[in-house]
Amino acid sequence: MDSLAISPLDGRYGKRLQHLGLYFSEYALMRMRVIVELRYIKALDKSGLFDKLTVSELTAIDDMIESFSEKDYDKIKEIEAKINHDVKSCEVFLRENLPLINKNMIHFALTSEDVNNLSYSLMLLDFWKKEQLPQLSELLSLLAHVTKHWKSIPFPARTHGQMASPTTAGKEFAVYLSRLYEQFSKLKDFRFKGKLNGATGNFSAMLSAFPAYDWVSFSRDFISNLGLEPNIATTQIESHDSWLDYFAIIRHINTIILDMNRDIWLYLTLGYLTLEADKGAVGSSTMPHKINPINFENSEGNLQVSNALLNAFEEKLGQSRLQRDLSDSTVTRNIGTALAHSYLAIQETFKGMKRLTVNEGYCKNELDSYPELLAEPIQTILRREGFDDPYNLMKELTRGKKIGKQELEEFIDSLEIQESVKEELKKITVIGYIGNAPDICDLVLKEVELLL
């Protein structure tokens, strides 16, 4: 029952995340173990080391790969309840249910970690390809849309929380688009590693049976054909370093989105952005007027949980006592939890972004009320003209003070500079002082379009 679920991923958010069970559940792990074992048998068959499998045997293998079911999973769990070993239970299941003449080809010369590391990496590969990349691509497309349509809208900027030289709404989101694009590029090119080399990583059992056979090449080919990169030099376990590299990219993506969520939250608080009301929703049990930035807050919390777990993986999974210990096993089972929290967070950010608009009139009025922001371009142009210490001159006029447009014009008129320069200074407006923000947006969009 959802109401008794310990994790909100399975309870409160269960319907939205149920499909991720295809990649990270106990069922998914058992299924992938069986698939790895079956594909290994087929690879052994091509090696010529055993009598060739019959057509009916190969058909039975392919059928089991395609049709592994809940019923099969239940059988494996019944076996595990008796022998208390998950991978061995898969082997026993195959011995009992796969019609092979030579049952000794099943799990031949393998250690459990050969099966486990490949299974987990294949599960991650499936999630990466079918869920993660499409979701992030969708978020990037939405950010690109916002960047394009808001690229010329003047927008107040703040440094240290204080009013600063203006920007545009599109440029602010172009920064996040560019940052996420860089990490997405790394993620898109990422390759998971795997190992298949026996109990202490030396192919010892394999070589004891067939000493003249090139097991290193066999291992490389088998792992490559699974869509993974071979890791030949390992202990009993695959080092998990490629997982940690992958988690580092995800953690970085999480952090960028977290940063964006918080900025959006602040811009909403300042009135620069607004949220479209969700009809039927309630923002407070007592204050009817409220439209809460709940999507961005929900995303923030889930990203923090995800990163906390990813940091824990960094501390744990890169270490193993001697050849191996099992403390990594229970930690590894939480990989799906970390990635599901990230996936949920990105869903929430996406939902919030679709309700977001720029409060354009408010932004322009805000900028108009801060003519002192022109202290920067005025002192810069005066520097160009060789004026003596223009920075301190403008500091005396504006720092910690509110000045009006007329006062600023009177100050410009009092300067001992050419009339043409005075006119140049008077033509500068706060709203127009956005530099090449629109062009930067276009540059980012051009780069991103190459990837999406």
Number of alpha carbons in the 13 Å side-chain half-sphere of residue 417: 23
pLDDT, tens only, 293-332: 899 999 999 999 999 999 999 988 888 877 777 777 788 8
**Region of 48 on the Ramachandran plot (φ > 0 left; ψ -120 to 50 alpha; else beta):** left
Number of alpha carbons in the 13 Å side-chain half-sphere of residue 388: 2
| Model confidence at 402: pLDDT above 70 | yes
Enumerate the β-bridge partners of residue 167.
155
CATH number for 16-108: choose from 1.10.275.10, 1.10.1040.10, 1.20.1070.10, 1.10.510.10. Answer: 1.10.275.10
- Please say whether the dihedral angle defined by the alpha carbons of residues 413, 415, 416 and 419, taken in this order, is positive or negative: negative
pLDDT range class, residue 203, cuts 50, 70, 90 = very high
CA distance linking residue 279 with residue 128, whole number of Å: 35
**Stretch 233-253: mean pLDDT:** 91
Specify the pLDDT at position 2. Answer: 67
Per cent of the chain over pLDDT 70 is 95
CATH for the stretch 371-429 = 1.10.40.30
Q: Which residue has the higher pLDDT, 452 or 374?
A: 374
Specify the pLDDT at position 451. Answer: 64
**Stretch 38-46: mean pLDDT:** 98
| Model confidence at 336: pLDDT above 80 | yes
DSSP assignment string, 280-310? T--S-SS-TT----HHHHHHHHHHHHHHHHH
Question: Domain 113-359 class?
Answer: mainly alpha
Distances in Å between the Cα of 415 and the Cα atoms of 228, 343, 411 are 70, 58, 7
Domain residue extents for the chain: 16-108, 113-359, 371-429
| Model confidence at 213: pLDDT above 90 | yes
Mean pLDDT in the chain?
92
Specify the pLDDT at position 403. Answer: 86
User: Coil, helix or strand for 165?
Assistant: strand
Specify the pLDDT at position 285. Answer: 36
For the annotated catalytic residues, the residue numbers are: 160, 284
pLDDT, tens only, 262-286: 999 999 999 999 998 666 555 443 4
Specify the pLDDT at position 290. Answer: 43
DSSP assignment string, 39-65? HHHHHHHHHTSSPPPPHHHHHHHHHHH
Specify the pLDDT at position 280. Answer: 56
Q: Dmax of the chain from CA atoms?
A: 101
